[in-house]
């Protein structure tokens, strides 16, 4: 432990690790649950999530608004409010048990080991603080750099995120930059102290489409340069498709399907994933094509249904789905798990769909009205 | 935009000075009798000529304004002769200004940390206690606090002197000792207001994304609070602090009287007691005009500081 | 100064159950204000409100019943109890500088103080309210003129304006009654702009509602619309500000007395008891403290109830 010039204590984590780092696995989450106590009841925003992430790999986290993906990243980081929130489960990062740490200990991880990029660059930068200061702040805090060293590092960071005229930008305020540039700055700020894991929470949602690809490529590039792992959260399957190694689909606080990216798109099993993919409007469709929305709304997180949580909206749902919640089942592909009794692309699934169509179940009809091949899992 | 405010200012100043200038005319009966009832008939006649009270209203008004801005504030009239008001005002004005400034600083110095901590720990027992105390303090009048302080701290415990004034340039410590209780009496009510104002702005700011982002960089909570959260939250507070001068003025008058501080408030009190209407007129004019000007400056400052206002007008 | 926003009433944020973004969740669990204030915000009485109401009833009852209460004459001096503290035999709150019973004076004093406060605020309500209604309903030049009037009146620090008016119109050597009347008028005039502004803001907001347009559409006369439709809705806002206004005037009376232009002696009032007792502060502080405590409790009760009424009727928070 070093006593910094300014009197703060800096704990270098290489020597303070309780357990030695276990090979390739950087992050391991086991049965994580996050519950919020609100006056209306306990909201189970995250309800039993488990996954692992290797060093340098990217996990995509996809789902609708309110499925708990943002809460999940904040839960792992430990950035939740202190009162009226309960977090359970195991979180192991680089051999350290994050779930057992209080805010003071977590602070030594934030910035240096764990970083986060937020959705809206308009609001994630302090409007009354200069850009340079926002970058050098963490450098000074964690590494006790003197001014010139910090300035140079900040300059280098801005260059590495492809910001033109970096020296000028250092002295500017956030509102003087465009949205895309602001997001680059946010990335620079998050990466300043070289974290091993970056949570990118919808990093492109607030940006123009033209800028989105640039930002995603930038993130990918930074990852490779720094050998950094990343969790890329988005509601947009398209964003996640080209930029991740693995994808986890979340619904109502649980992971409902997880697979290496290619397998997911080639052989998706969970009807929800299929519906998500189907709902992406396609460029080749004629104009005025109806959008294939998923009928219904996400379930109440205070009192979720007892069976499968997607059942009320699922074209394949059968009685069993409504009574018993399916566990995560391994499929024949390596690393592919899903949570469904009548999965897409299987015999059982096809029969279930036909039964529903025959019975005039509205969700089934809606689903089939769209691209039938996607729904039935044929290519 | 600034032109519109200036026009507004001029109009307000006109009506304010018009009202004050005609005060003596509003006195029941003959103004000269009211001003110098003790004088002999010849003296009264001379006074009437001197004050040119027979001139038409607008001429009198113009003359009054001219006198006011050149520093001629009329005279005190007593049996022993007249004395210019301006002389006494020259000495009294700094005292009042010092009192208000010190009270304001004291209030901010106490209210800002309280506001920050109660916002940070919103909902905690400390927060609830602080809020309840603030609410109760708001109900205590300035003079009540002044009297309680004067009695307990001044008389019973004898820690601080209860009256008198010492210039800061002469002896800073004694100056502060004498200003302490008056400043506290004025500041207490303000503390409650400022604390709650800052608290609600801070609570809103603390929910902003950039605060979470700052947290996620791993910097300490106090750093986040004071370096990131405070500045954007303090705009309303500073504006209200500026505008609150009016409340302070009223309170300062009473506090000066209670603690025998030789400021404008005491002059006003003396003028009232002695029915010195000319002096009263000038003193009220000084206070009113000063108040209007300060409000105007704060208004302009607010528009300049808050980029949202600037953009809304643009 | 940011103009009072005549927007729709503020409702407490509903907590969504399903699509909860993290920010919503944070707001939902942390909440912007502590529990007690949330109770006020819902407009319920609660313990504080009941206590406040009780105190006010007590004060008003004692004030009204003073002539028939078994207390001493407030103006009779009894030499033996002069400057004796509370707990003196037969005089539970002691005697003042001239030997008058403090308890009796504080009860009789409440009559004068409350009369002044209520009358002044009533005057302000009627005049200010009328002007505010006109300004808010008719808009246009009437509004500009009236708002300008309010602005000019508000350009004076309130206490200074009151002191000036009383000194000029009821300076030395006037009768008790005249002083009282002038005090009521002066403090009423001082409260006009505040009450006027609030009423105007409230009127503006209510006039945007459909029922006013509907009334106009069926050809109802302006006067009946204002009195029949707008006024009943504006009254709650005015009422809550009136409660706060009474508290302000009670305090102002104290200030005016200390400056020598309060309610004329020997009629007791809370304010002039304090002013008189100041000279005896060293040896007999209770003379000053008893009326001070009375003022404090009454103002506290009025503030609290004013807040509750305001919350009850969803009036936007505004500075007095």
Sheet holding A114-117, edge to edge: A114-117, A197-201, A229-234, A58-62, A246-251, A254-260, A337-338, A329-330
Helix axis angle, B230-243 to B277-305, nearest 10°: 160
Q: Quick one: pLDDT at residue C37?
A: 53
- pLDDT at residue C16, as a whole number: 32
Mean pLDDT of chain C: 79
- Residue A85 has its nearest CB partner, among C15, C17, C29, at C29
pLDDT number for residue A264? 85
Contact A36 C28 (CB under 8 A): yes
Q: Answer yes or no: are the C-beta atoms of C182 and C170 closer than 8 Å.
A: yes
Distance in Å, alpha carbon of B234 to nearest chain A alpha carbon? 12
| Cβ pair C259:B258 closer than 8 A | no
CB < 8 Å from C in window 153-192 of B: 155
A125–B208: do the CB atoms touch at under 8 Å? no
Of B41-50, C112-121, C128-137, C302-311, which one has max mean pLDDT?
A: C112-121
- Closest CB to A81 among C17, C20, C30: C30
Determine the pLDDT at residue B79.
Answer: 62
User: Does residue C37 belong to the interface with chain B, where contact is any CB pair within 8 Å?
Assistant: yes
Given this model, what pLDDT does residue B136 score?
87
Q: Does A148 touch chain C (CB under 8 A)?
A: no
- Out of B138, B148, B280, the one facing C303 most closely (by C-beta) is B138
Q: Mapping DSSP to helix (H, G, I), strand (E, B) and coil, where does residue C12 land?
A: coil
Neighbours of chain A (3+ CB pairs under 8 A): B, C
Say whether residue C142 is in contact with chain B using an 8 A CB cutoff. Answer: no
Question: pLDDT confidence of C300, banded at 50, 70, 90?
Answer: very high
A-B Cβ pairs (cutoff 8 Å, strict): 73
Nearest residue, CB atoms, A301 vs list C17, C21, C29: C17
Containing H/E element for A86? strand A85-93
In A136-269, where do the E strands start and end?
197-201, 229-234, 246-251, 254-260
Contacts of C30 in chain A (CB under 8 A): 81, 83-84
The pLDDT score that the predictor gives to residue A14 is 38
How far, in Å, CA of B81 to CA of B75, rounded? 9
**The pair of three-digit structure tokens given for residue A341, joined into one six-digit string:** 């009794």
At residue B292, the pLDDT reads 85
pLDDT band at C39 (very low <50, low <70, confident <90, very high): low
CB of B247 within 8 Å of a chain C CB? The answer is yes
- Name the residue among C17, C19, C28 with its Cβ closest to that of A65: C19
Burial of A1 (0-12, 13-18, 19+ CB in 10 A): exposed
Joined tokens for residue C152:
């000019």
pLDDT value at position C44?
67
Q: Does A39 touch chain C (CB under 8 A)?
A: yes
- Percent of chain C at pLDDT above 90? 24
Q: Please identify among residues 282-311 of chain C the ones whose CB lies closer than 8 Å to any CB of chain B.
A: 282, 285, 288-289, 292, 295-296, 299-300, 303-304
pLDDT digits (tens, 9 = 90+) for A94-126: 888 998 888 888 888 898 899 999 888 888 898
Residue C32 gets the label, from left (phi > 0), alpha (psi -120 to 50) or beta, of alpha
**Closest of C311, C304, C173, C194 to residue C249, by C-alpha:** C194
Among A35, A41, A43, the residue to mutate for chain C (most C Cβ within 10 A): A43
For residue C38, what is the nearest residue in chain B, using CA coordinates?
Answer: B123
Could you say which residues of chain A have pLDDT below 50? 1-21, 371-379
Whether C35 has its CB under 8 Å from any CB of chain A: the answer is no
Interchain proximity C25–A38, CB inside 8 Å: yes
Cβ-Cβ contacts under 8 Å for C217 (sequence gap 6 or more): none
**What tens digit of pLDDT does each residue of C205-225 get?**
877 777 777 777 777 777 777
Q: Which of residues 258-287 of C touch A (CB under 8 A)?
A: none
User: Which pLDDT does position B307 carry in this prediction?
Assistant: 56
User: Contacts of residue C258 in chain B, CB cutoff 8 Å?
Assistant: 143, 254, 257-258
Position C80 pLDDT exceeds 80: no
Chains sharing 3 or more CB pairs under 8 A with chain B: A, C
- Strands A58-62 and A246-251 come out as parallel
CB contact under 8 A, A298 and C19: yes
Q: Is C36 within 8 Å of chain B by CB? A: yes
CB nearest B123 (choices: C30, C168, C281): C30
Provide the 8-state DSSP code for C306.
Answer: H
To the nearest whole angstrom, how far is the Cα of B1 from the nearest Cα of chain A?
23
Q: Say if the Cβ atoms of C20 and A300 lie within 8 Å.
A: no
Nearest-neighbour CA in chain C from A64: distance (Å): 9
The nearest CA of chain C is from the CA of B5 a distance in Å of 11
pLDDT at C293: 92
pLDDT at A352: 83
Each as own residue / partner, the long-range contacts of residues A246-249 (CB below 8 Å, 24 or more positions apart, any chain) are A246/A57, A246/A58, A246/A59, A246/A60, A246/A335, A247/A59, A247/A60, A247/A61, A247/A62, A248/A51, A248/A59, A248/A60, A248/A61, A248/A62, A249/A62, A249/A63, A249/A273, A249/A276
- Report which secondary-structure segment, H or E, holds C305: helix C286-312
> b vs e for A168-178, b when ≥16 Cβ sit within 10 Å of the residue's Cβ?
ebbeebbeebe
Return left, alpha or beta for A56; rule: phi > 0 is left, psi -120 to 50 is alpha, else beta.
Answer: left
User: In this structure, are strands A41-54 and A58-62 parallel, antiparallel, or unpaired?
Assistant: unpaired
Contact list in B for residue C299 (CB cut-off 8 A) is 139-141
Residues of A in contact with B214 (CB under 8 A): 126, 137
Whether residues B123 and C34 touch (CB distance < 8 A) is answered with yes
Put simply, whether C26 touches B (Cβ < 8 Å) is yes
Confidence band of C147 (pLDDT split at 50, 70, 90): confident
Q: What is the ipTM of this complex?
A: 0.83
At B42 the pLDDT is: 78
Chain C residue numbers touching A37 (CB-CB < 8 A):
29
Q: Which residue of A has its CA nearest to C17?
A: A300
Contact predicate A61/A233, CB 8 Å: yes
Mean pLDDT of C254-264: 90
Chains that touch C (3 or more CB pairs under 8 A): A, B
Contact assessment for residue C191 and residue C245, using Cβ atoms and an 8 Å cutoff = yes
A36: chain C residues, CB-CB within 8 Å: 20, 25, 28-29
- DSSP states along chain B: -HHHHHHHHHHHHHHHHHHHHTHHHHSSS-HHHHH-TTS-HHHHHHHHHHHTTTS-HHHHHHHHHHHHHTT---EEEETTEEEEHHHHHHHHHHHHHHHHHHHHHHHHHHHHHHHHHHHHTTTSHHHHHHHHHHHHHHTS-HHHHHHHHIIIIIIIS--S-SS----TTT-HHHHHHHHHHHHHHHHHHHHHHHHHHHHHHHHHHHTSHHHHHHHHTT--HHHIIIIIIHHHHHHHHHHHHHHTHHHHHHHHHHHHHHHT--SHHHHHHHHHHTT-HHHHHHHHHHHHHHHHHHHHHHHHHHHHH-HHHHHHH-
Q: What is the pLDDT of residue B256?
A: 92
Interface check C155 vs A, CB under 8 A: no
CB C308 within 8 A of CB C43: yes
Are A110 and B217 within 8 A, CB to CB? yes
In the structure encoding, which two tokens stand for residue B291, read together? Answer: 């108040």
The tens-digit pLDDT sequence of chain B (314 residues) is 677 788 888 888 888 888 888 887 777 777 777 777 777 777 777 777 777 777 777 787 888 888 888 877 777 776 666 778 788 888 888 999 999 999 999 999 999 999 999 988 887 888 889 988 988 888 888 899 998 888 888 877 878 887 888 888 888 888 888 889 999 999 998 898 899 889 988 988 888 889 989 988 888 888 888 888 888 888 788 778 877 877 788 889 999 999 989 999 899 888 888 888 888 888 888 888 888 888 888 777 777 766 554 444 33
Residue C48, chain B, CB below 8 Å: the answer is no
With 60 as the cut, is the pLDDT of residue C40 above it? no
Chain A residues with beta carbon closer than 8 angstroms to that of B213: 116, 118, 124-125, 186, 189
Please give, one letter per residue, the 3-state secondary structure of A1-25.
CEECCCCCEECCHHHHCCCCCCCCE
Q: Which of residues 199-238 of A touch C (CB under 8 A)?
A: none
Residue C232 to chain B, least CA–CA distance (Å): 30
């Amino acid at each position: 432990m070093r006593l910094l010039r300014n009197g703060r204590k800096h704990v270098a984590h290489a020597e303070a690790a309780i357990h030695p780092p276990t090979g390739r696995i950087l992050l391991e989450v086991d049965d994580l649950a996050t519950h919020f106590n609100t006056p209306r009841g306990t909201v189970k925003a995250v309800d039993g999530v488990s996954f692992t992430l290797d060093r340098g790999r990217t996990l995509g986290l996809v789902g609708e608004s309110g499925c708990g993906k943002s809460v999940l990243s904040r839960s792992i980081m430990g950035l939740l409010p202190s009162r009226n929130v309960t977090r359970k489960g195991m979180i192991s990062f680089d051999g350290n048990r994050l779930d057992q740490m209080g805010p003071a200990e977590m602070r030594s991880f934030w910035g240096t080991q764990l970083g986060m990029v937020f959705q809206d660059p308009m609001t994630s930068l302090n409007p009354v603080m200069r850009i340079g200061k926002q970058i050098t702040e963490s450098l000074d805090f964690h590494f006790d750099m003197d001014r010139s060293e910090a300035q140079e590092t900040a300059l280098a960071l801005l260059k590495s995120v492809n910001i033109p005229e970096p020296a000028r930008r250092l002295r500017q305020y956030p509102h003087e930059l465009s949205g895309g540039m602001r997001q680059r700055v946010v990335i620079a700020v998050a990466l300043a102290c070289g974290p091993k894991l970056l949570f990118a929470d919808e990093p492109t949602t607030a940006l123009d489409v033209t800028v989105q690809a640039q930002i995603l490529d930038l993130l990918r590039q930074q990852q490779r340069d720094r050998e950094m792992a990343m969790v890329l959260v988005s509601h947009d399957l398209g964003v996640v498709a080209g930029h991740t190694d693995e994808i986890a689909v979340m619904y109502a606080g649980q992971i409902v399907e997880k697979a290496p990216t290619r397998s997911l798109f080639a052989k998706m099993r969970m009807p929800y994933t299929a519906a998500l993919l189907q709902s992406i409007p396609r460029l080749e469709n004629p104009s005025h094509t109806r959008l294939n929305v998923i009928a219904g709304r996400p379930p109440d997180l205070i009192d979720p249904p007892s069976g499968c949580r997607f059942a009320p909206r699922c074209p394949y749902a059968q009685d069993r789905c409504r009574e018993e919640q399916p566990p995560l089942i391994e499929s024949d592909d390596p690393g592919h798990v899903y949570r469904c009794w009548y999965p897409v692309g299987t015999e059982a699934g096809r029969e279930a769909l036909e039964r529903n169509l025959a019975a005039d179940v509205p969700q089934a009809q809606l689903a089939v009205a769209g691209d039938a091949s996607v729904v039935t899992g044929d290519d | 935009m600034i032109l519109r405010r200036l026009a507004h200012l001029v109009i307000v100043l006109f009506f304010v000075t018009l009202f004050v200038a005609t005060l003596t005319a509003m006195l029941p009966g003959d103004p000269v009798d009211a001003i110098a009832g003790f004088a002999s008939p010849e003296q009264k006649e001379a006074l009437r000529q001197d004050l040119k009270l027979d001139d038409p209203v607008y001429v009198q008004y113009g003359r009054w304004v001219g006198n006011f801005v050149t520093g001629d504030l009329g005279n005190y009239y007593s049996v022993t002769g007249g004395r210019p008001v301006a002389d006494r005002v020259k000495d009294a004005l700094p005292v009042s200004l010092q009192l208000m400034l010190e009270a304001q600083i004291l209030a901010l110095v106490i209210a800002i940390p309280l506001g920050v901590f109660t916002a940070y720990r919103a909902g905690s027992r400390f927060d609830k206690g602080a809020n309840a105390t603030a609410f109760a303090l708001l109900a205590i009048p300035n003079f009540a606090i002044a009297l309680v302080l004067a009695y307990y701290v001044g008389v019973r415990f004898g820690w601080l002197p209860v009256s008198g004034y010492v210039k800061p340039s002469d002896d800073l410590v004694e100056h502060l000792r004498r200003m302490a209780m008056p400043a506290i009496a004025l500041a207490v009510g303000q503390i409650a207001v400022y604390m709650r104002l800052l608290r609600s702005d801070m609570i809103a700011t603390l929910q902003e994304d950039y605060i979470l982002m700052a947290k996620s960089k791993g910097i300490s909570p106090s750093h986040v609070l004071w370096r990131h959260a405070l500045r954007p939250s303090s705009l309303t507070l500073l504006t209200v602090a500026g505008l609150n001068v009016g409340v302070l003025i009223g309170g300062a008058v009473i506090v000066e009287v209670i603690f025998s501080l030789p400021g404008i408030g005491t002059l006003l009190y003396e003028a009232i007691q002695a029915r010195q209407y000319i002096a009263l007129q000038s003193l009220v004019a000084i206070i009113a005009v000063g108040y209007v000007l300060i409000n105007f400056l704060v208004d302009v400052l607010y528009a300049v500081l808050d980029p949202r206002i600037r953009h809304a007008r643009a | 100064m940011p103009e009072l926003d005549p927007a729709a009433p503020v409702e407490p944020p509903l907590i969504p159950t399903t699509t909860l973004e993290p920010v919503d969740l944070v707001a939902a669990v942390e909440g912007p204000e502590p529990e007690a204030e949330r109770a006020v915000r819902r407009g319920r009485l609660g313990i504080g409100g009941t206590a406040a109401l009780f105190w006010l009833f007590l004060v008003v009852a004692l004030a009204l019943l003073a002539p028939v209460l078994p207390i001493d004459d407030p103006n009779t001096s009894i030499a033996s109890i002069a400057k004796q503290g509370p707990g003196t035999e037969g005089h539970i709150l002691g005697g003042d500088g001239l030997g008058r019973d403090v308890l009796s004076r504080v009860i009789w004093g409440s009559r004068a103080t409350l009369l002044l406060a209520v009358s002044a605020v009533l005057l302000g309500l009627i005049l200010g309210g009328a002007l505010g209604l006109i300004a808010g309903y008719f808009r246009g030049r009437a509004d500009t003129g009236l708002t300008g009037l309010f602005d000019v009146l508000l350009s004076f620090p309130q206490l200074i304006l009151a002191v000036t008016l009383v000194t000029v119109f009821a300076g030395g050597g006037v009768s008790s009654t005249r002083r009282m009347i002038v005090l009521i008028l002066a403090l009423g005039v001082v409260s006009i702009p505040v009450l006027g502004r609030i009423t105007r803001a409230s009127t503006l907001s209510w006039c945007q509602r459909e029922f006013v347009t509907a009334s106009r559409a069926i050809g109802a006369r302006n006067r009946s619309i204002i009195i029949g439709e707008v006024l009943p809705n504006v009254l709650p806002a005015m009422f809550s500000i009136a409660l706060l206004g009474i508290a302000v005037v009670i305090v102002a009376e104290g200030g005016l007395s200390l400056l020598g232009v309060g309610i004329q002696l020997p009629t007791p009032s809370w304010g002039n008891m304090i002013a008189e007792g100041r000279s005896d502060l060293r040896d007999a502080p209770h003379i000053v403290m008893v009326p001070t405590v009375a003022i404090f409790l009454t103002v506290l009760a009025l503030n609290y109830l004013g807040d509750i009424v305001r919350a009850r009727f969803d009036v936007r928070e505004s500075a007095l």
